[in-house]
């Protein structure tokens, strides 16, 4: 499988946290490739951080995810994005994992 730079970086970032590794595995499905799922999880994790610090709206972060996927398309990576409701599900599932990791990331 093609390992994109951001995939390796994210895997390294969560490697000390078994709860986040388990969360990533739970997010994997047949609907999205592993690379697409990792990109979505990066944005879900970033939303969790931004919400704690700035009360950022999830819709705003989801729109950033759409923009990032479009910018990757310009360099030849065609990655699909989830619906807003799927993104919110990823965020809700992340909340449970972050109880143990909290500000570490």
CA angle 84, 70, 103 (to 5 degrees): 60
Give the model's pLDDT for residue 79: 83
What pLDDT shows up at residue 105?
Answer: 52
Mean pLDDT (10-residue bins), the chain, 105 residues = 74 91 92 91 84 75 86 82 88 75 53
Of 94, 34, 91, 33, the C-alpha closest to 62 is 91
pTM as predicted: 0.70
Question: What are the residue ranges spanned by the domains of the chain?
Answer: 5-26+34-104
Please report the pLDDT score of residue 34 as a whole number: 92
């Amino acid at each position: 499988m093609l390992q994109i730079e951001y995939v390796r970086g994210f895997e390294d970032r969560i490697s000390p946290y078994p709860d986040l590794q388990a969360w990533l595995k739970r997010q994997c499905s047949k609907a999205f490739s592993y690379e697409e799922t990792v990109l979505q999880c990066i944005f879900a994790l970033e939303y969790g951080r931004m919400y704690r610090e700035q009360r950022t709206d999830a819709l705003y972060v989801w729109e950033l995810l759409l923009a990032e996927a479009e910018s990757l398309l310009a360099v030849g990576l065609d990655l699909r994005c989830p619906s807003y409701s799927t993104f919110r599900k990823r965020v809700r599932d992340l909340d449970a994992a972050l109880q143990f990791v909290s500000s570490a990331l």
